[in-house]
Structure 1
Amino acid sequence: MMNKYIVAFASVLMLLFTAEARAQQRTFCNPMNLNYRFWSSSREAADPAMIMYKGNYFLFASRSGGYWYSVDMLDWKYVRTETLPILKYAPGVIAINDTVYYLASSRMKDYIYYTTNPFEDDWKRMDKKLPMDVWDPQFFQDDDGKVYLYWGCSNKETEPIRVVELDENMQPKTEPVICIRHNPDEYGWEVFGAKNETGENGYNEGPWMTKYKGKYYLQYASNGTEFKTYADGVYTADSPIGPFKYETYSPFSYKPGGFIGGAGHSATIQDRYGNYWHVTSLSIGMRGNFERRLGLFPASFDKEGVLRTYTAFGDYPTIIPSGKMNPKKESLFTGWMLLSYNKKASASSFLEQYPVMDAFDENVKTWWSAKTGNKGEWLSVELDDKVTAIKAIQINFADHEALLNPDSTNIYAYRVWASIDGKNWEVVVDKSNNARDACHDYIEFAKPVKAKYIKIENVKDVPGDGKFSVFDLRIFGMQKGKKPKKINEFEVKRDYDNSRKALVKWTLDDSATGYVVNYGTASDKLYTSVMVYGQDSVQLTGLNKRVSYYFSIDAFNEAGITNGTKKIEVE
C-alpha cells in the first residue's frame, strides 16, 4: 500500500512540474514545432492558412493529413481527418459566424467543405461544386459581410491572380477580376531561381487579403517554394476587387538567410490581443523541392500603413505576448543569442558525408548523422567559458535514411545532458518516454541551465531503420563578453545594367559571429533583412527597378547585437 502512495505522490509531483514548466513557457522557435507528415523520404508542410475560431487558432497546411489548433500558438493539438481532401495542396479556410469553410487546391472543379465543429473530424461537403477550378484559394470577408475568393498559382502570363465575389451559398456571383499579373522585369524577387537568376517568370501564387484602416492589402508569393528567396509581396487598393497598386517596399516578408530560409505563401492574422502575425512556408529542399516547414513571424503596419514582417533573428526564440504590444517600442525577440554556432563538437559516430560540425553550422540544408539509429548514439558540443545561462534548446532531427510512409510517425526518444566540466553530467531534458512526433523539438527551460557542455543521447532505436541524425542542435542563452564592433564602413554597389541586384560588402570583424543587412525604401523604414554568418558580403537579387534603397548593417555574436547607425542611400 505504501508503494502505491509513493508512486501516486511521484506522479503528482511530475504533473505539477510539467504544468509549471508549461505555464512558464512563453517562447517558440522557428521552424514551428509540429508533427510534419512524411512523403517519400522527407517531411512536408507548407502553404499555411490560419484563422481564429471560438478563441482558438486553427492552422491548415498542404498535404498534412490533418490540421492543428491552439489556444496560445505555443501548444498545438493535431486533428487527423478523413472527411476533408486534406492530402491536396494549399487550402483556403475562413470562419463565417459559427461555420468554418475549407477549399483545397484543384485543377478541376471541386467542392467547398464546411463544419461547425473543427475540433473534431466532422466536415461535410457542400451540395454544389465551384464552376471553375482554383489553385491556392483564399477567402476574405469584408466588414459589410460580403465574401470573396482569391486564387492563383502559375508562372504563365495567362494565369494571373484573380478574385470573385461569392453568394450566400459560397458560389460565384461575379465574373473573375484580374488582380495581379507577373512583372519579373521590374521586380527582381519575382524572377525564378535560387538567386533570381533565370530571367523567367516565378510562380506568382498564394494570395492572402488583409484589410487595415480601410485599405485592402492583397499579399502574394513568388518566385518558387523550393528557394530561400521565396517571399511575399503586396498590392493595395481601396476595394477588395481593385484596381491594385504594387507597393515598392515589396517583398515585405523575406528571409533568404539564417538557419532556414524562405518566407512566402503565407497568412496574415491578428491574435486575440490585436497583434499581427505572418505564418509562412520555409524551405529545406534537399530531399525534394517540397521538403518544407512552417514559420511564424511577428508582423505589423507602421503609421503610414507599410506592412512588414520581422524576420531578422526570426529563427531565434520569439516571445508570444500576453497582451497588446507596440511594435515600434517593443520587440518580441527574446535577446537570447545562439551559443552553439561553429563550436567544438563530438559524437558517438558519424557518416563521412554527414560530419559532426554540420550540426552546428546554422544551415538546415546540411546535417550530422550517426552510423546507426541505435540506442546510445550521441552528439555533444562544448560552449564558451563565458556562457552564463542556457535559456532554451532546439533539436532539429533530420530523419536520415528513415524509410517511413505518410502514416508513420518518427518519435524520437532522447535525453539532454549538461555538464560544467565534461565529466559530471546532469539530465536537463528527459524524453525517454516521448509520445510526440516533434522533429523540431524546442524546449524553453523553466530555470536557466549553467553548463559548458551539452549532449543529446538517443535512448531508443530510430523508427524506420533511420539513423540518429540532426540538422542542427541549437542552444540559446546569454554569454558575457564584448559585443562586436559597430559596422561603420561598408559599400553598396548596385548593378545599373540590372538594378534589381546589388552587392553589399563590409570588412569582417573577428569578434562577430554574423551580420544582418537591413534595407528599405526610406531611411526610417529598413524593414527588410538578410542574416549571414562568417561572410563579408551579401548579393541582393530581389530589388525593384527605379526604386531607391537605404542600407545599414548590424553585427552580432554570443554576447549580443551591435546595431549599425551608418546608412547608405543607393539610387
Structure 2
Amino acid sequence: MNQINTYRLVQQLQVLSLYMLILLMPALSNAQTTYCNPMDIDYKYNFEQLNEKISYRSGADPVIINHKVAGRNEYFLFVTISGGYWHSKDMLNWKYITANRWPFEDMCAPAAVSVRDTLFLFQSTFESRPILYSVAPEKGIWEFYNRWTPRLPKDIGPWDPALFHDAETDKWYMYWGSSNVYPIFGSELDYSKRLAFKGEYKAMFWLDPYAHGWERFGPNHSDPFKPFTEGAWMTKHKGKYYLQYGAPGTEYNVYANGTYTADDPLGPFTYAPYNPISYKPGGFATGAGHGNTFQDNYGNYWNTGTSWIGLNWAMERRIVMYPAGFDKDGQMFSNTRFGDFPHKMTTKTWQGKGDELFTGWVLLSYKKPVTASTVLDTMSAAKITDENPRTFWAAKQNKPGETLTIDLQAELDVKAVQVNYTDYKSDIFDNNPAKVYTQFKILTSIDGKKWDVAYDLSKEPKRDRPCAYIELPRPIRARYVRYEHMHVASPVLAISEFRVFGNGSGKAPQTPGNFTATRQKDTRNADLKWDKVPGAIGYNVLWGIAPDKLYQTYQFWHDDPNTFELRALNVGVPYYFAIEAFNENGVSEMSAVTGVK
C-alpha cells in the first residue's frame, strides 16, 4: 500500500470514528451520574408475611461489600429476605443475581466480608448454619466453607451477625446481637478450624438510653418501651476499632447507627460521645440504622442503612446509603444532609464530609397542586407531594394511560424525578420478571397543553423499580410534570410520592433569624426555635459536639412548627447548633453557631 492510499485510509477511519462518536453522544449524555435515596433497586416481594397473605416489596439490613472481580473492584449488596443479591460496577446500576446455592429458608440480616480473592457470607441464625464462600460471586456460584457453626444458647444467636477479618493481624472475628435484653456480643474465630468460635464469646456493650437520648425507643425517641440494639458492624481505621450498632428500633424515623471504639477488636469498648454516627429522622426517607460501612474504589467511606415505610407491615423498609468517613480527630460520621435529594456518584476522593456530592437540585414538588386521571376512593392525588411514604394516591384501574400531573406553579429547570410505588392490596407473592416490572413515561409542558416526552422507561430493559429514580438527560424548562402509567404488576396502581427535583432561577432564602437551642433539665433533650423565612420550603437544623463538627441533620418543612424538642443528645456532652433554610432556588447561608452545655 502506497503512502497516498494509507493517508486516505487514515482519513476514512477518522471520519468513521467521528461519525460513530456523534451517534453515541446521545447515549453518553444519557448516562446516569447521580443517585437518590431510597436506593433504586428491584426490591423483592417479601415472603416474611406470606402466611398473613400480605404482599409487599421490602429491603432492609444492607451490607455492601467492595470485592475484586477479575482484577477490578466491584460491589455486592446483600439484603434481608431477597432470594439473592445485587452486583454493581459503579454503585449506580445494580443487577440482581440468584445463586446456585442459597441459605435454605432465605437470609435475614446477612454478614459478608471480602478477604483476598474470596467473598464469605453468613446468615442470621439461632440454629447451626453454614458459612458460604465464593470466588465468582458475579456468576452466582457459592460453595460451603463449613457445614455448621456451633449453636449458641437460646435467644443469643448469632442473629444480625458481622464477619470481620483484621488484615493487619490476619485474625477473624464475629459480632452479633438483636435484642432489647441482650448486648452486642463478640468472639474470635479460628481460621484453622473453618471459622469455628475460638474460646468464649463475650458481651461488648449494652444500650444505655438513660444516658444516650437517641437510644430511646419510639418516634422521635418518645416511647418508654425498652429499645433494641442490633446490626453489628466492625470497621478498623488507623489502628482503632469502631464497633457499630443500630438502635433503637427499625420501625421508627429515628432508627440510627452508633459506634463504640477500642484499641483491640474485643475491647474494652468506649462509647463515642458524638453518637449517633448516622441519623436521618426528617424528610421522606427517614431512618438510617442497621447497615454497614465500606470504602469505594477511591477510598471514600459510605454508610448504608434501613429506611422505614411501615405501611403494609411494620417491617416494610427500603435501603439508603450516605457519604461517611472519619475526621482528623478520628471521629466517625455519616452525612445525611439533604440525604434523600439527588447526589453525584463520586469518581474521585472527596474532601471534608462529602457535601460536594450534593447536586444542589432541590425538591420542586413539595405540596404542589396535582391532578389525576382517576382517583380510587379517598386516595387523592394530593398525597403524592406530601413527602410521606405512608400516604398514597391510587387509580381506579391499573391500566396504561393513567396520569398524575404536578403544577410547579412556575417555569423551573427540571433535572430529575423519583417515583415511589405503594403495594396497596397487592396479590403478588413471587418475583417473576416476566410480570414484575415497572414502566412509565415522564412528560413535561410549559403551558399544560403541549407535552414533550422527557423520559420513556419502556425504551429500557424491563425491571422492577419500586423507587424509580430518573436523572433526565438534560435539564428541561417546565411548569408541568406528568407521570403517564404503563405497567406495574400489582392489581392496583398506587404511588406514595412523585418527587420532582431541579432548580428555580430566583434567590435562595434568607438565613433564619433568632435561632435558639436550650438544653432541658433532662439534658438528653433540647428545645429548638427559629423564625420562619418567607419563601422557604424547609430548614436543616445542624448540630454536633464542636463548632466545626456539625455532622447531624434534622430536616423540617416550612409548614411544620418552628419549635421542636430534640431528644437525641448524650448526657454530659456539650453541643453546638446552627440552622439553614432552602427553597427551589438554593440554600441559605448557615446561621451563626450557638453552643449549649
TM-score calculated relative to the size of structure 2: 0.89
* Aligned match for 1:68, one of 86, 106, 115: 86
Say if 1:517 and 1:529, in contact at 8 Å, map to a contact too. yes
Deviations 1:346-403 (A, max 9, x none): 111123432111101111121111122122211000113241x211111112232221
User: Counterpart of 2:331?
Assistant: 306
Q: SS in structure 2 opposite 1:72?
A: coil
User: Partner of 1:421 in structure 2?
Assistant: 447
The one of 415, 419, 425 equivalent to 1:401 is 425
Which has the larger displacement, 304-313 or 116-125?
Answer: 116-125
8 Å contact kept, 1:495–1:502: yes
| 1:153-164 mapped onto 2 (5 Å cutoff) | 153-156=178-181, 158-164=182-188
Alignment of 1:341 with 2:366, yes or no, is: yes
Query: What do the CA deviations read for 1:397-436 (whole angstroms, capped 9, x no partner)?
Result: 2232221104345322211111111100111111236511
Cα distance between partner residues in 2 of 1:76 and 1:436: 11
Alignment check: 8 A CA contact 1:42 1:287 kept: yes
Determine which structure has more spread, i.e. the larger CA radius of gyration.
Answer: 2
Match of 1:79 in 2: 97
| Distance (Å, rounded) in 2 between the aligned partners of 1:399 and 1:155 | 30
- Seen in structure 2, the aligned counterparts of structure 1 residues 480 and 362 have a Cα distance that, compared at 3 Å, is same
Quick check: 1:295 aligned with 2:295?
no
CA-CA distance at 1:503 after TM superposition: 2.2
Distance 1:18 1:136, change over 3 A: farther
Does 1:489 find its partner at 2:514?
yes
Say yes or no: does 1:20 pair with 2:28. Answer: yes
Q: Which moved more, 1:189-198 or 1:235-244?
A: 189-198
Match among 478, 487, 490 for residue 464 of structure 1: 490
SS at match of 1:451: strand
Q: What is the CA deviation profile of residues 215-259 of structure 1, one whole-angstrom value per residue up to 9, with x for unaligned ones?
A: 111111101111110001111111111111001110010000011
Q: Could you say if the C-alpha distance between residues 505 and 330 of structure 1 is closer, same or farther in structure 2, counting changes exceeding 3 Å? A: closer
Question: Is 2:464 the counterpart of 1:444?
Answer: no
TM-superposed CA distance for 1:327, in Å, is 2.2
Residues 210/15 of structure 1: CA separation in 2 closer, same or farther (3 Å cut): farther
- Asked whether the equivalents of residues 488 and 564 of structure 1 are also in contact (C-alpha less than 8 Å), the reply is no
Q: CA deviation at 1:328?
A: 5.3
Q: CA 1:198–1:399 in 2, change beyond 3 Å: closer, same or farther? A: closer
Q: CA deviation at 1:438?
A: 0.7
Q: Is the 8 A contact 1:516 1:553 kept in 2?
A: yes
Alpha-carbon contact 1:500-1:544 (below 8 Å) kept: yes
CA distance in 2, matches of 1:423, 1:162: 64
Closer, same or farther in 2 for the Cα pair 1:164/1:144, shift >3 Å? closer
1:514–1:532 CA contact under 8 A, matched in 2: yes
Contact 1:297 1:310 in 2 (8 A): yes
| Aligned residue runs from structure 1 range 343-382, under 5 A | 343-382=368-407
- In the alignment, does 2:225 pair up with 1:200? yes
Cα pair 2:303 2:322 within 8 Å, conserved = yes
Residues in 2 aligned to 1:75 and 1:298: alpha-carbon distance in whole angstroms: 18
Q: Is the 8 A contact 2:423 2:490 kept in 1?
A: no
1:5 counterpart residue number: none
508-517 or 189-198: which moved more?
189-198
Show the 5 A alignment for 1:53-132.
Answer: 53-54=67-68, 55-81=73-99, 83-85=101-103, 87-131=106-150, 132=152
CA distance in 2, matches of 1:253, 1:421: 43
Matches of 1:15 and 1:122, distance apart in 2:
38
Matched with 1:214 is 239
Q: Residue in 2 aligned with 1:522?
A: 546
* 2:312 and 2:423 in contact (8 A); partners too: no
Q: What secondary structure sits across from 1:195 in the alignment? A: helix
Contact 1:261–1:282 at 8 Å: present in 2 too?
yes
- Cα distance between partner residues in 1 of 2:173 and 2:22: 50
Distance 1:47 1:500 in 2: 27
* Secondary structure class of the residue paired with 1:110: coil
Q: Does 1:187 align with 2:212?
A: yes
Question: Percent identity between the aligned chains?
Answer: 39
Structure 2 distance, partners of 1:121, 1:219, is 29
Between the aligned partners of 2:531 and 2:513, the Cα distance in structure 1 is 10
Conserved 8 A contact 1:161-1:204: no
Q: CA RMSD in A?
A: 1.9
From the superposition, tell whether residues 281 and 178 of structure 1 become closer, same or farther in structure 2 (CA, over 3 Å): same
The letter for the 2-side match of 1:77 is K
Q: Which residue of 2 aligns with 1:7?
A: none
Distance 1:241 1:13 in 2: 56
Structure 2 match to 1:50: 64
Contact kept, 8 Å, 1:190 with 1:201, in 2: the verdict is: no
Distance 1:94 1:190 in 2: 28
Question: What amino acid maps onto 2:449 in structure 1?
Answer: K
| 8 A contact 1:184–1:200 mirrored in 2 | no
Q: Structure 1's 18 and 413: CA in aligned 2 closer, same or farther, altered over 3 A?
A: farther
Kept in 2, the 8 Å contact 1:380–1:455? The answer is: yes
- 1:38 corresponds to 2:6: no
| 2:410 counterpart SS class | coil
Cα drift, residue 69 of structure 1: 0.9
CA distance in 1, matches of 2:546, 2:352: 18
8 Å contact kept, 2:324–2:353: no
Show structure 1 runs of 5+ residues with no match.
Answer: 1-11
Residue of structure 1 in register with 2:14 after alignment = none
Asked whether the 8 Å contact 1:321–1:332 carries over to 2, the reply is yes
Q: Quick one: distance in 1 between partners of 2:22 and 2:523?
A: 60
Instruction: Specify the SS of the correspondent of 2:478.
Output: coil
Q: Deviations over 1:116-140 (max 9, x none)?
A: 1111232122344111341011111
* 2:579 paired residue number: 553
Deviations 1:26-70 (A, max 9, x none): 110000000111123221111111111111111101001110011
**Aligned residue pairs, count:** 554
Provide the rounded CA distance (Å) in 2 between the counterparts of 1:30 and 1:180.
Answer: 31
Question: Does 2:264 align with 1:239?
Answer: yes
Measure how far apart 1:163 and its partner are: 3.1
Distance 1:72 1:563, change over 3 A: same
Report if aligned partners of 1:262, 1:282 keep a CA contact under 8 Å in 2: yes
Q: 2:575, 2:510 → 1: CA distance?
A: 24
Note if contact 2:219-2:254 (Cα within 8 Å) is conserved in structure 1: yes
Q: Contact 2:246–2:257 (CA<8 Å) still a contact in 1?
A: yes
Matches of 2:146 and 2:545, distance apart in 1: 49
Instruction: Report the CA distance between 1:16 and its aligned residue.
Output: 4.1
Shift of 1:510: 2.6
Pairwise CA distance, 1:487: 1.5
AA partner of residue 417 (structure 1): L
Shift of 1:165: 3.3
**Structure 1 residue 160, shift from structure 2 partner:** 3.5
Structure 2 residue ranges without an equivalent (≥5): 1-19, 47-53
How far apart in 2 are the matches of 1:344 and 1:423?
17
After TM superposition, the score normalised by the length of structure 1 is 0.93
SS in 2 for 1:358: helix
Query: Partners of 1:211 and 1:451 in 2: how far apart?
Result: 48
Aligned position for 1:6: none
Structure 1, residues 270-306: CA drift from partner, whole Å, max 9, x if none?
Answer: 1001011111111111111111010011112111111
Please give the alpha-carbon distance, in whole angstroms, between the structure 2 residues aligned to 1:294 and 1:355: 27
* Greater mean alpha carbon deviation, residues 123-132 or residues 361-370: 123-132
Describe the superposition over 1:69-90 as per-residue Cα deviations: whole angstroms up to 9, x where unpaired. 1110001111023511172210
Match of 2:356 in 1: 331
Over 3 Å counting, the alpha-carbon distance change for 1:255 and 1:328 in structure 2 is closer
